[in-house]
Amino acid sequence: MAALSISLSQQQRQMMILAPQLRQSLEMLQLPLLELRAVIQKEMEQNPTIEDVRDPSEVSIEAEQPQPEKVDAADAPLDFDAEFDALTKLDDNWRDYFLQGMENAPASEDAEERRQYMLDSIRQPVSLQDHLLDQIPLADLDDDGVRLAELIIGHIEEDGYFKSDLPSLAFQAGATIEKLQAALEAVQNFHPIGIGARTLRECLLLQLRAQPATPDHLLARAIVDVHLEELAANHRKALIKTLHTDSDAFERAVTLIRSLDPRPGCAFSTEITEYVEPEVVIRKVAGRFVVVVDDDRIPHIRISAHYRRLLENPEVTAEVKSYIRERIRAGVFLIKSIHQRQRTIHRIASEIVAAQQEFLDKGVGHLRPMTMAAVAAVVGVHETTVSRTVANKYMRTPVGLFELKYFFTPGLKTDAGPNISNRTVQDKISQLVAAEDLADPLSDQAIQVALQKTGIQIARRTVAKYRIFLKISPSHLRRRRN
């Protein structure tokens, strides 16, 4: 028991020593390409011993490391290979424990000031609720009406719809349903038009009523008000006959309806568009697909020869030399962290490509199921390392651009024996629906039977789940009458 306690204490001390380097190594592994470049640039600004290599072929990393024989043994550079081996063997639970502690550590006063300045400088987008609240003073509402309007705005969802129950909300607010209804109607006059609607029909009608009452608009209102389901089912000929109109007028009305916004609140969405750069490129060489990790988009850095020479200068004080050595060590570890990241990405991407040759040649229908645990076992790393590596990394393939984690999907059994990826099943469902007879579209049961004929054993509820995921309407809404 005592030996176990001593061993555990030694492991804790080792982990505490390596924690800053471990944190850097894991951060490098997780960062997408755009953020990685920013981190390297920041390190170059803070560490004067690091410089950019204009021509990456002019120097190797090994040649740029400080030479141990030129300094005292006590001042020799760290044994980084041994440290990387230690990092690899450490349990991930220890990693997460110490990293969490470091992340929660208090920042310095200067760092906190810079952080606050950055946050104060960021322009926050206007939310939908703020936009609506700003319009309340422009409405002709008394104090009670203002209170109820604010209550309604608080219950409007991100897409712009008001889906709360009026009687229940009136009871909570201590107001009559009539007053709450009046406040809702006032909010429905706010910008954007269609806001506060309780149904799609009401949303579209609010937008149509805000436009001039031309014959096309009146016809569009009639279609939306009474025949919206028939329009969704594409019963055009029946609608033209029911509405006593001609096909040209009907098409103009439909075009007008399509120009309306079914989700008026989404214009104020706070979602940020993300831009990605593929780090892995797949090329076909001698009939096989191979992995190319794009290193050219990452700055090629080395340790400055100027600072290495300062270590040999007898006129430089011991204190300055100690600082330079520490900065050089940090720089070398940064370089090796980058190289370790690139090697790990290459190894995991190579395993993906080795398993997905048919997919790369023929498309999604031939995607094979994969698990992170299986890839981790082959590569020789922990499953969490695979998870970190594939996060926010993209691969350019002959069949499109994919995130690395796209390839990790569960499988379904087939009569032939091998499993099939659920993405492949989804692709087959899309193909079946695309080829169906619109006068008699396939039900979920019919799709299930069709898949079973190809050897894919799947439940009807799973078909329905995949259909909803693919945003395919139920069969009765896909039916078209001649």
Q: Are both 132 and 261 inside the same structural domain?
A: yes
Tokens of 480: 């078209």
Give the DSSP H or E segment for 69. Answer: none
Please tell me the distance from the alpha carbon of residue 443 to that of residue 433, in angstroms, as a whole number.
Answer: 10
Please tell me the distance from the alpha carbon of residue 41 to that of residue 46, in angstroms, as a whole number.
Answer: 9
Yes or no: say if 184 and 287 are a contact pair by the CB < 8 Å rule.
no
Report the relative pairing of strands 280-285 and 394-397 from DSSP bridges.
parallel
Q: Read off the CATH number of the domain in which 416 is found.
A: 1.10.10.60
Report the relative pairing of strands 301-303 and 420-421 from DSSP bridges.
unpaired
Q: Are both 132 and 237 inside the same structural domain?
A: yes
| Last residue in a domain, options 226, 245, 269 | 269
Q: Are both 172 and 295 inside the same structural domain?
A: no
| Last residue in a domain, options 251, 269, 287 | 269
Domain assignment present for residue 117? The answer is no
Query: Splitting the chain (482 residues) into consecutive groups of 10 residues, what average pLDDT does each group show?
Result: 44 51 72 85 89 56 41 40 48 45 50 54 69 90 91 90 88 89 94 93 94 92 92 88 92 92 83 73 86 84 87 88 89 87 90 87 79 86 84 87 84 62 81 84 87 81 83 77 50
Distances (CA, A) of 299 to 36, 55, 57, 158, 282: 10, 10, 13, 41, 22
Domain assignment present for residue 48? The answer is yes
Neighbours of 346 (CB within 10 A): 16
Please tell me the distance from the alpha carbon of residue 364 to that of residue 318, in angstroms, as a whole number.
Answer: 62
Q: Are both 381 and 418 inside the same structural domain?
A: no
Which long-range contacts does 339-342 make (Cβ < 8 Å, 24+ apart)?
339/61, 340/25, 340/28, 340/29, 340/84, 341/25, 341/28, 341/29, 341/36, 342/293, 342/295, 342/298
Pure H helices in 59-211: 61-64, 80-89, 92-103, 109-121, 128-133, 143-154, 166-173, 177-187, 200-209
**Domain limits at 313?**
21-80+277-409
Q: Are both 328 and 405 inside the same structural domain?
A: yes
Yes or no: say if 384 and 93 are a contact pair by the CB < 8 Å rule.
no
Q: Are both 159 and 207 inside the same structural domain?
A: yes
Q: Are both 261 and 327 inside the same structural domain?
A: no
Please tell me the distance from the alpha carbon of residue 36 to that of residue 15, in angstroms, as a whole number.
Answer: 25
Q: How many domains does the chain have?
A: 3
238: helix, coil or strand? helix
Which long-range contacts does 144-153 make (Cβ < 8 Å, 24+ apart)?
144/175, 144/179, 145/179, 145/182, 145/183, 145/186, 147/173, 148/173, 148/175, 148/179, 148/180, 148/183, 149/183, 149/186, 149/187, 151/180, 151/183, 152/180, 152/183, 152/184, 152/187, 152/196, 153/129, 153/187
0.75 surpassed by pTM: no
Q: Are both 247 and 354 inside the same structural domain?
A: no
Residue appearing with tokens 């509820």: 461
Please tell me the distance from the alpha carbon of residue 137 to that of residue 271, in angstroms, as a whole number.
Answer: 28
| Last residue in a domain, options 226, 246, 269 | 269
Residues contacting residue 25 through CB under 8 Å, at least 6 positions apart: 84, 87, 337, 340, 341
Largest CA distance in the chain: 101
Domain assignment present for residue 233? The answer is yes
Yes or no: say if 150 and 184 are a contact pair by the CB < 8 Å rule.
no
Residue 115 has what pLDDT? 54
DSSP β-bridge partners for residue 280: 293, 395
Domain assignment present for residue 88? The answer is no
Give the DSSP H or E segment for 303. Answer: strand 301-303
Residue 289 has what pLDDT? 87
Q: Are both 415 and 404 inside the same structural domain?
A: no
Cβ-based burial of 421 (10 A; exposed 0-12, middle 13-18, buried ≥19): buried
Report the relative pairing of strands 411-412 and 50-52 from DSSP bridges.
unpaired
Tokens of 400: 């499109």
Yes or no: say if 289 and 283 are a contact pair by the CB < 8 Å rule.
yes
Domain assignment present for residue 190? The answer is yes
Yes or no: say if 203 and 224 are a contact pair by the CB < 8 Å rule.
no
Q: Are both 133 and 240 inside the same structural domain?
A: yes
397: helix, coil or strand? strand
Domain assignment present for residue 1? The answer is no
281: helix, coil or strand? strand
Q: Are both 64 and 53 inside the same structural domain?
A: yes
Report the relative pairing of strands 288-293 and 280-285 from DSSP bridges.
antiparallel
Domain assignment present for residue 224? The answer is yes
Distances (CA, A) of 161 to 164, 232, 263: 9, 20, 8
Q: Are both 157 and 247 inside the same structural domain?
A: yes
Residue type, 354: A
Domain assignment present for residue 44? The answer is yes
